Chain A
Amino acid sequence: MERTESAPRTGLGEYVARHIREYGLLFALIAIMAFFQIVTGGVLLRPVNITNLFLQNSYIIIMALGMLLVIVSGHIDLSVGSVMGFIGALAAVMIVQMGMPVWQAMVVCIITGMAIGAVQGYFVAYWKIPSFIVTLAGMLVFRGLSLWLLAGQSVGPFPQNFQQLSTGFIADPFGFDRPNGLALAVGVLSVLLILWIGLRARARNLRYGMEDEPFALFLIRNGIIAAALLFVTWKLAWFRGLPNVLLSMVVLTVIYVFLTERTTIGRRVYATGGNAKAAKLSGIRTERLTFLVFVNMGLLAALAGLVFAARLNTATPRAGFAVELDVIAAVFIGGASMSGGVGKIVGAVVGAFIMGVMNNGMSIMGIGIDYQQVIKGLVLLAAVFFDVYNKNREG
């Protein structure tokens, strides 16, 4: 009866079977990319298209980081699309119409986003109003406010320095043009860094007996990641180098991985989502934590709004429409659980890339938006079904 009594020594195949979810996600991304690479006749992985993939999906990924925390803490935020659009509109009104300096306007936008998150978080955390309702209300309110701010018009274009936020590229200090030296250097360095961190963690975990991943699998897994990284940076190097937005995405992802896995705040969020009553009786201030999670979501939605507006170079009343659904889908594809307490930042980012590659690939193939929606919906259902199926099989 005691499953815990069994020894953890396992073979390769069995190990993969047990961790099917983590590996499955990575393999699914690779398989989807391979599929579209073939059916688009190689267009998907052209340098310019890879660059586009990052630009197109940056705002989804930025918001998925916050949404993961919201979902892990046992809530949902339906308002992020509207908030993102609203912040873009606010930026346009301040920068384009009022002529406010870009940095000043960005600060105001970020603070506004946090304030929006704070208000929603206040009702969710302290008044125990279901987040679904509070953020549904927020979704309607900020959709309306964007329309009002923009008076139903598109506002643009933005000054050059604001556009740089999204469409800019980091200057190459090595002075080559093609291939871009910085991109190559970053590719090689990050591969070395990932291997070093991976090996170090593995050594430490082995010492405590918590690691049972076969070494061969460790090599395969990291080999795939390294190859992918080198491939992507190589391709980027042959276009215009590293996009600014890629840098911000990577930095943010690293910060949130650290936050969720290594800090006390991260631990408390997972504990709250896993069992709010037990967390509360362990001295965790669950209300304040929920409040902060929503403030953080507002912050990231604001950032996404700025990135999105900068990329389109205008703010439109329809910006951010239904984006919350893509963000939420990305987090669930990435393995988060609706009931809270389970989910990883890396999973959410990979989930967002899966959505992004599908969007991009299907657009290149010329598949209509109608079919695209159907396919994305089915992929979401399949991913979650896969989760539940595995869980039932385990239990």
Chain B
Amino acid sequence: MSALLQMQSISKTFPGVKALDNVSIDVAPGEIHAICGENGAGKSTLMKVLSGVYPIGSYDGQITYDGEVVNFRDIRDSEAKGIIIIHQELALIPLLTIAENIFLGNERARGGVIDWPETFRQTEALLAKVGLREAPGTIVGKLGVGKQQLVEIAKALSRNVRLLILDEPTAALSESDSQALLDLLLELKGQGVTSIIISHKLNEVRRVADRVTVIRDGATISTLDAKGLTEDKIVRDMVGRDMAHRYPERERRAGEVVFELRNWNVWHPEQRERQMIRDVSLTVRAGEVVGIAGLMGAGRTELAMSVFGRSYGRNISGQAFVRGQEVDVSTVDRAIKAGLAYVTEDRKTLGLILEQTIRRNTILANLDGVSRRGVVDESRETEVAEKYRSALRIRTPSVFQKVMNLSGGNQQKVVLAKWLFTAPDVLVLDEPTRGIDVGAKYEIYNIINDLSREGRAVVMISSEMPELLGMCDRIYVMNQGGFVGELTAEEASQEAIMSLIVRE
């Protein structure tokens, strides 16, 4: 059986990062092919290369589809060939109807005038195919996520899909919706549609997939028949990597409990019935680095933000304690006064004022620390900025540079400087090394170790499991808004974390 799709030796480089390194994959006609890998392994990049989001010339390697070499310049080229990708974040327009969404950009029209009866007739046929019992005139925003997913598939069918790519299709779905979706995939397979499914949920992969390709660090590790494949084998292939010497040595020394969270519950800010954080309790001791592991969407950032001045969610309940005293963390400035600091995941949109200088960003969270009666002492401000510049080795000719001119690693150090100047007892670091190069990562790890040596309590959220394993004294594993396990440094391994997550 000759392959429908062959991607050969695909390499793709972003400035400073090799995202894909000689990845090859082949997909047979009529099969369901699963791609597994950790966050950041390169799965989504590979699919973007395939669908033309990254056009020909921006990557190395060759794509053969249906027996001929293809050079997609944009997503329209790939769609014309019947390759349709459904992203994790759905691309539907919530204020339009199902019918309008399905035929968006592909309208049933005569001379530019939309033929509504024809549109609705075809929509009904498509909805029947995907098993969605809704009127074509229903506004998409009123449907649940599961039904929206079906609309996306109906939209793909309307474009004569031959190769359907689903990126984490069940991540946001309930159990029954997931089952329905997987059944639909099997049914489409019976009708000759080939699918690629990217998923973390290994039980689902084993249920529908014919073959599984595992990608790690931008390279293909294995392609195996799903029949007889164990979850253990997949997990091993997903995580196995050399971890020596990527993390500085740290002495483990945990003191008294500095921070404690009891029975923390948070609901979604808009979807009122959706609980985002379920009954989370955690403790962090002085000098301890505690990790929170989990996949994207597990609720780690939401947990941190909701604790830090209720910056996320509604109906928040639970108690927070600093050194045994219950503290009020209901606004950001109260949380700061209580001794908390939160280094945000997205430094550019949530952490920094890019237009302003390093100096001004450094003192932003503690303006009162450099001012008297509301007047800023600029000399003091400069001294503070200079102090952190040398302490954190922020590489810049002067602290009067705008932070937008700094590299990612140096920007991250400025964010850290800002929070260190508030002299926090508890630092929550959300993806502290995301998007920065290896050398800068190592420096950030050193800073974290220095902080814990000073007796601060550090909570580290990271999607990179090796980083958590290399840095943390203890790791909480989070999934679907709740803690599903707690591992000491000795117990923790990538396999142990992954199996706690995929056990769901």
Contacts and interface: CB of A to CB of B under 8 A. Distances in A.
A264 B367 contact: yes
Interface stretch (B97-105, B221-229, B346-354): B346-354
B349 A4 contact: no
A4 B344 contact: no
A4 B333 contact: no
Interface in A285-343: 285, 341-342
A125 to B, nearest CB: 15
B342 A209 contact: no
B374 interface: yes
Given A275-B354, A342-B355, A264 B371 contact: yes
B326 interface: no
Contacts of A3: 405
Given A8-B398, A280-B311, A281-B311, A210 B356 contact: no
B355 A274 contact: yes
Contacts of A215: none
Interface in A261-296: 262-265, 267-268, 270-271, 274-275, 277-285
Given A2-B407, A271-B356, A280 B367 contact: no
Contact of A283 (B336, B350, B374, B398): B336
A14 interface: no
Interface in B386-407: 386, 395-401, 405-407
Contact of B353 (A4, A8, A271, A285): A271
Contacts of B336: 283
Contact of A264 (B374, B396, B399, B401): B374
Interface in B424-456: none
24 contacts: A1-B15, A2-B395, A2-B405, A2-B407, A3-B405, A7-B397, A204-B378, A208-B382, A210-B382, A210-B398, A263-B371, A263-B375, A264-B371, A267-B364, A274-B353, A275-B349, A278-B350, A278-B364, A279-B364, A281-B308, A282-B365, A282-B418, A283-B309, A342-B355
Given A8-B397, A263-B374, A267-B376, A283 B332 contact: yes
Contacts of A210: 382, 398-400
Interface string B167-206: 0000000000000000000000000000000000000000
Interface of A: 1-8, 204, 208-210, 262-265, 267-268, 270-271, 274-275, 277-285, 341-342
B405 A267 contact: no
Contacts of A274: 353-356
A90 to B, nearest CB: 32
B365 to A, nearest CB: 4
Interface centre among A270, A271, A278, A342 (most CB of B within 10 A): A278
B398 A278 contact: no
Nearest to A270: B356
Contacts of B331: 285
Contacts of B309: 281, 283
B271 interface: no
A97 B400 CA distance: 57
B379 interface: yes
A270 B364 CA distance: 11
Contacts of A270: 353, 356, 360
B251 interface: no
A331 to B, nearest CB: 17
Interface of B: 15, 308-309, 311, 331-333, 335-336, 342, 344, 349-356, 360, 364-365, 367-368, 371, 374-376, 378-379, 382, 386, 395-401, 405-407, 410, 418
A197 to B, nearest CB: 13
B362 to A, nearest CB: 11
Interface centre among A4, A210, A268, A270 (most CB of B within 10 A): A4
B365 A283 contact: yes
Contacts of A7: 397
A205 B232 CA distance: 62
Nearest to B371: A264
B382 A4 contact: no
B243 to A, nearest CB: 29
Contact of B342 (A5, A281, A341, A342): A281
B397 A6 contact: yes
Interface centre among A2, A7, A282, A283 (most CB of B within 10 A): A282
B350 A267 contact: no
Contacts of A278: 344, 349-353, 364
A7 B396 CA distance: 10
Contact of B332 (A204, A208, A281): A281
Given A1-B15, A284-B364, 13 more contacts: A2-B405, A2-B407, A4-B395, A4-B410, A5-B397, A204-B379, A210-B400, A262-B375, A267-B376, A278-B351, A278-B352, A280-B332, A282-B365
Contacts of A277: 349-350
A179 B409 CA distance: 63
A242 to B, nearest CB: 29
B395 A271 contact: no
B342 A264 contact: no
Contact of A275 (B308, B353, B400): B353
Given A275-B352, A279-B364, A281-B344, A4 B332 contact: no
Contacts of B367: 264, 267-268
B397 A341 contact: no
Interface centre among B15, B331, B355 (most CB of A within 10 A): B355
Nearest to A8: B397
A282 B364 CA distance: 7
A88 to B, nearest CB: 33
Contact of A4 (B15, B352, B376, B401): B401
A16 B360 CA distance: 24
Nearest to B335: A283
Nearest to A9: B397
A388 B378 CA distance: 30
A277 B347 CA distance: 11
Contacts of B360: 267, 270-271
Contacts of A1: 15, 407
A214 to B, nearest CB: 17
